Amino acid sequence: MLKEKDNSVRTAWINMDRQYQYRNDMILNLVDMVGSEIPQEKDVLQTALAVHDRASKVQASMDNPTPEMLEAYLNVQDSVRYALGYLLFEAAKIPALKEDYGLFVFQEQLKGLEKRIEDKRNYFNYSVRKYNDYICSKMVASWLGCKKRSCFDDDIETLTEE
């Protein structure tokens, strides 16, 4: 049962992380889509690409992430969300892009992705809480060196160590 709970936490993390990676990759798609239309915003494009690079390099290990590791991970993910939002804001100022169906589809995909990210993060939190409840109720778990895991708090901006 302990192994099942541990696997559930790891799987939930992987599924959540994949959604974050997919959103990070969307930056490249958006830069390709709007870059030629907003060349005057070169610094905005470069910032978005820098955020993409930084997010591509960040990894939080599921072996036993600390609240600090999760906070750093979440900060990078927030940077990605902000970069995408700012690029979309700049693109909306361009009349040709305002009418672009591809940009509309992109925005709709991003909305759906944000919902999936929220769902995956909530399931990760649920899995961690179930794991922590289980190890607290079993002496064997503490004898085996199992420790409580950290998770994201229900409030997206804060973290908790259960």
Q: What is the pTM of this model?
A: 0.82
Separation of alpha carbons 154 and 49, rounded Å:
30
| Average pLDDT value for residue range 134-138 | 80
Amino acid (1-letter code) at residue 37:
E
Is 157 or 113 the better-scoring residue by pLDDT? 113
Segments of the chain assigned E as strands: 150-152, 159-161
Tens of pLDDT, residues 85-135: 988 888 888 888 878 888 889 899 999 999 999 999 999 999 999 998 888
54-92 pLDDT, tens digit each: 888 887 767 767 888 888 889 999 999 999 998 888 888
Q: What is the pLDDT of residue 158?
A: 42
Give how many domains the chain has, as a whole number. 1
Q: What pLDDT is recorded for position 154?
A: 53
pLDDT at 147 over 50: yes
Do 132 and 142 contact (CB within 8 A), yes or no? no
CB-based contacts of 54-62 (< 8 A; 24+ apart in sequence): 54/79, 55/20, 55/24, 55/79, 55/80, 56/24, 62/9, 62/10, 62/13, 62/14
What is the pLDDT averaged over residues 38-46? Answer: 81
- Residue 94 is part of which domain span? 2-161
Strands 159-161 and 150-152: antiparallel
Report d(CA 135, CA 54) in Å as an integer.
Answer: 35
Torsion angles phi and psi, residue 150, rounded to 5: -90, 155
pLDDT at 162: 46
* Cα 80 to Cα 14, 75, 91, 108, 146, distances in angstroms: 18, 9, 16, 17, 33
Q: What is the rounded average pLDDT of the residues 45-52?
A: 89
Would you say residue 156 has pLDDT above 50? no
**For residues 97 and 107, is the Cβ–Cβ distance under 8 A?**
no
Q: How confident is the model at residue 159 (pLDDT cuts 50, 70, 90)?
A: very low
pLDDT score recorded for residue 141: 65
- Element counts in the chain: helices (H) and strands (E): 6, 2
